[in-house]
């Protein structure tokens, strides 16, 4: 196998056709919307553009300047010319010098990234344009050597893909197992033996009577507004049966539901990267837990001014608009936090905290039945949303408080085992990716003793 030092520009030539927006729109060509990390090109029908465009012809090598190192490199094989934004670049290539499939693997190897970093300013941190790519000097074997290396890489890649496919199936199985656990939990199947040993536990109907009495007293003392009564019938049709000691109820019967009004937000709140009071936005609400990686803050005075949407005790948080609509998490911090206007809170009425386990309610809303309850009245608008009335109308199944806690304990134990399995599978996937990179490093950097000297050295 003979290796040579060559510049990429010796076998690639940039296609330099460029169009201003008006000219590009008049051509009415289809356009590349993206190249995914598997190298698949996605084409959109003719779509008006406000940016300059490049031309791509059949057989061209197309590179995403932003994601080339992740595998966004492909050959366009369509019959008709297409366009792409200037974040892409297109090249014809000399097939007598380069095996293009070999090159695609090379471009997403750490060997290439190392050369890019050494020979150009900014490395891969800036877009991979032709002026940066073509002058790079690389070690390149002859065509027969490229073919030999490519066959070894693709053979191992098939094995790695098989591993990744199996891992994806296992992760899907675990996800479905989690849903099955939650479904059995909210039907009382996980605590059947517990009920058999605790037959004298007070039924949930008595618990709900206490909550009702506390709520009425709060209204009488003007510590809680009466609000609009939810008149929809209780109707959990997805469940054929549930334990006799359990009871159905509306969210409005057991929880205070509120949100921050938009006008209050615009008038009083300026979010900062640092501050006294963390603000929970929709992107912070994840199933069961709060994502604290990108919190923003407000000052304490503003939080106290909008006290109704402060967070001072354990409660449920629900996103009611946006991409993560219907996500539910538990807030249980031991200091004051605050809500953004796209998150609602559901908290026990004052004096009723001991009757409800918030995590049980959270698990209920993450179950298949709970998800249907959240979305049963969703507004089908351009941006789907949940109204406060919708959230107050959610039907819950409530066990006795002792059984609520027992369910939470059992679910957490089972979920922990599922999470451990997920972690093992994810680590296995990472090992497969590391193996592939090791194979690429060995393929693109090793040379036999007989070819240490380059033909054109």
Instruction: Locate the domains of the chain by residue range.
Output: 3-141, 145-200+408-443, 202-399
**What local confidence, expressed as pLDDT, does residue 97 receive?**
93
Residue 170: φ, ψ to 5°: -65, -40
Q: Which of 26-40, 86-100, 232-246 has the lowest mean pLDDT?
A: 232-246
pTM of the predicted structure, to 2 decimals: 0.73
Q: Which residue has the higher pLDDT, 81 or 37?
A: 81
Could you tell me whether strands 337-339 and 277-280 are parallel, antiparallel, or unpaired per DSSP bridges?
Answer: parallel
Torsion, Cα of 297, 300, 306, 311 (10° steps)? 70
- Which of 252, 246, 240 lies closest to 406 in space, CA to CA? 246
**What local confidence, expressed as pLDDT, does residue 285 receive?**
95
As a whole number, mean pLDDT of residues 327-353 equals 93
Tokens of 28: 């009415």
In whole angstroms, give the CA distance from residue 361 to residue 381: 28
Question: Euclidean distance between the first and final Cα of the chain, in Å?
Answer: 15
Please tell me if the domain spanning 3-141 has the same topology as the one spanning 202-399. Answer: yes
Q: Residue 139 pLDDT more than 80?
A: yes
Q: Residue 262 pLDDT more than 80?
A: no
What's the CATH number of domain 202-399, 3.90.220.20, 3.30.70.80, 3.20.20.60, 3.20.20.70? 3.90.220.20
In whole angstroms, give the CA distance from residue 177 to residue 418: 8
Which positions ≥6 away from 156 have C-beta within 8 Å? 435, 436, 439
**What local confidence, expressed as pLDDT, does residue 38 receive?**
82
What's the CATH number of domain 3-141, 3.40.50.300, 3.90.220.20, 3.40.640.10, 3.30.70.150? 3.90.220.20
The string of pLDDT tens digits covering residues 351-374 is 999 999 999 999 999 999 999 989
Q: Which of 178-182, 228-232, 367-371 has the lowest mean pLDDT?
A: 228-232
DSSP state at residue 379: B
344, 257 contact by CB (below 8 A): yes
């Amino acid at each position: 196998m003979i290796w040579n030092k060559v510049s990429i520009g010796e076998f690639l030539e940039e296609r330099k056709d460029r169009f201003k927006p008006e000219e590009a729109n008049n051509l009415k060509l289809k356009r590349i919307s993206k190249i995914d990390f598997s190298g698949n090109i996605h084409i959109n029908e003719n779509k008006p553009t406000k940016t300059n465009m490049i031309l791509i012809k059949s057989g061209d090598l197309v590179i995403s300047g932003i994601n080339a190192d992740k595998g966004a490199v492909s050959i366009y094989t369509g019959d008709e010319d297409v366009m792409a934004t200037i974040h892409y670049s297109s090249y014809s290539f000399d097939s007598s010098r380069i095996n293009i499939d070999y090159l695609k693997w090379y471009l997403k190897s750490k060997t290439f990234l190392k050369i890019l970093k050494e020979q150009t300013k900014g490395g891969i941190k800036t877009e991979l344009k032709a002026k940066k790519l073509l002058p790079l000097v690389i070690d390149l074997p002859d065509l027969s050597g490229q073919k030999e290396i490519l066959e070894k890489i693709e053979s191992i890649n098939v094995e790695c893909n098989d591993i990744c496919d199996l891992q994806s199936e296992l992760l899907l199985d675990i996800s479905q197992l989690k849903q099955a656990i939650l479904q059995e939990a909210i039907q009382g199947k996980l605590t059947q033996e517990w009920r058999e040993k605790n037959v004298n536990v007070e039924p949930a109907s008595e618990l709900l009577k206490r909550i009702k009495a506390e709520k009425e007293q709060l209204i009488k003392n003007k510590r809680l507004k009466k609000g609009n009564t939810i008149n929809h019938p209780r109707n959990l049709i997805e469940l054929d049966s549930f334990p006799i000691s359990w009871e159905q109820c509306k969210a409005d019967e057991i929880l205070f539901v509120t949100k921050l009004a938009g006008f209050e937000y615009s008038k009083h709140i300026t979010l900062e990267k640092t501050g006294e009071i963390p603000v929970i936005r929709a992107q912070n609400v994840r199933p069961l837990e709060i994502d604290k990686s990108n919190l923003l803050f407000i000052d304490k005075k503003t939080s106290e001014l909008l006290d109704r949407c402060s967070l001072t005790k354990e409660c449920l948080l629900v996103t009611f608009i946006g991409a993560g609509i219907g996500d539910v998490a538990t807030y249980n911090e031991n200091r004051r936090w605050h809500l953004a206007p796209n998150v609602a809170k559901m908290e026990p009425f004052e004096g009723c905290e001991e009757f409800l386990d918030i995590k049980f309610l959270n698990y209920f809303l993450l179950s298949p039945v709970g998800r249907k309850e959240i979305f049963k009245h969703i507004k089908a608008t351009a941006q789907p949303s949940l109204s406060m009335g919708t959230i107050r109308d959610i039907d819950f199944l409530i066990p006795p408080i002792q059984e609520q806690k027992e369910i939470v304990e059992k679910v957490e134990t089972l979920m922990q085992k599922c999470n451990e399995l997920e972690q093992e599978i994810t680590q296995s996937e990472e090992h497969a990716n590391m193996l592939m990179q090791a194979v690429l490093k060995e393929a693109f950097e090793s040379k036999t003793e007989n070819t240490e000297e380059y033909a054109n050295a």
